Amino acid sequence: MKLHHSPSSPFVRKVMVVAHELGLADRIEIVKTTAHPIDRNDAIRVENPLGQVPTLTLADGRALYDSRVICEYLDATAGGALFGTGDARWRAITEQALADGLLGAALLTRYEMTLRSDSGRFDAWIQGQMAKVEDALDRFEAILADAGDRLDIGTITIGCGLGYLDFRFADLGWREGRPAASGWFERFGARPSMVATDPAS
């Protein structure tokens, strides 16, 4: 398997955390790739018309994307249980959707702040996207108060979301007023899979 990979992408990180947790990381060939929302990468577009990372190419040439699909494929390949069954599955994939939504809003904010000139920046857009981030963080606080050491696609995606905020939005101060999320992430962020995929290292 080959993975189009950018270490700064939180969605790539999610895939790699799953791969490490399932014992599959050594079976994935990393293809270092630069993906950009404007200057699209033709090397990725050959396999994924969206031109985005992560994109996983299988031995038979099929390409899988996005991170949700890739993570579920890896879980099925390993016979894992990161997606659960019954009510546990619905909880895990709903938490994944929430954390993916936080990441999407954070990425759109970053693009607005870094790709536009100061005069062209849409402040109301940034405020709207960051309001989504704040609301998601408040829900994380409730979720993580009872999460314990649960490991599934939901908690993995939440962990990658919080890690991305530390990486790109260090001034946000998301820990303030959220002791459950802060304490949980201190423990979860120390997992070998998270340490190995830390974009700041």
Among residues 78, 94, 122, the one where a domain terminates is 78
Is 201 part of any domain?
A: no
101 and 173 share one domain: yes
CATH number at residue 122: 1.20.1050.10
Among the candidates 78, 98, 116, a domain finishes at 78
Structural domain of 12: 2-78
Domain boundary among 78, 99, 128: 78
Does the pLDDT value for residue 41 go beyond 80? no
Question: In this predicted model, what pLDDT tens digit does every residue of 159-198 receive, in sequence order?
Answer: 999 999 999 999 999 999 999 999 999 999 999 999 999 9
pTM of the model: 0.94
Are both 29 and 74 inside the same structural domain? yes
Q: 174 and 128 in one domain? A: yes
Same domain for 156 and 99?
yes
CB 177 within 8 A of CB 138: no
pLDDT in tens, 96-149: 999 999 999 999 999 888 877 777 778 888 899 999 999 999 999 999 999 999
Residue 55 forms beta bridges with which residues?
A: 4
Looking at the structure, do residues 34 and 94 belong to the same domain, yes or no? no
Q: How many helices (H) and strands (E) does the chain have?
A: 8, 4
Segment holding 14, helix H or strand E: helix 10-21
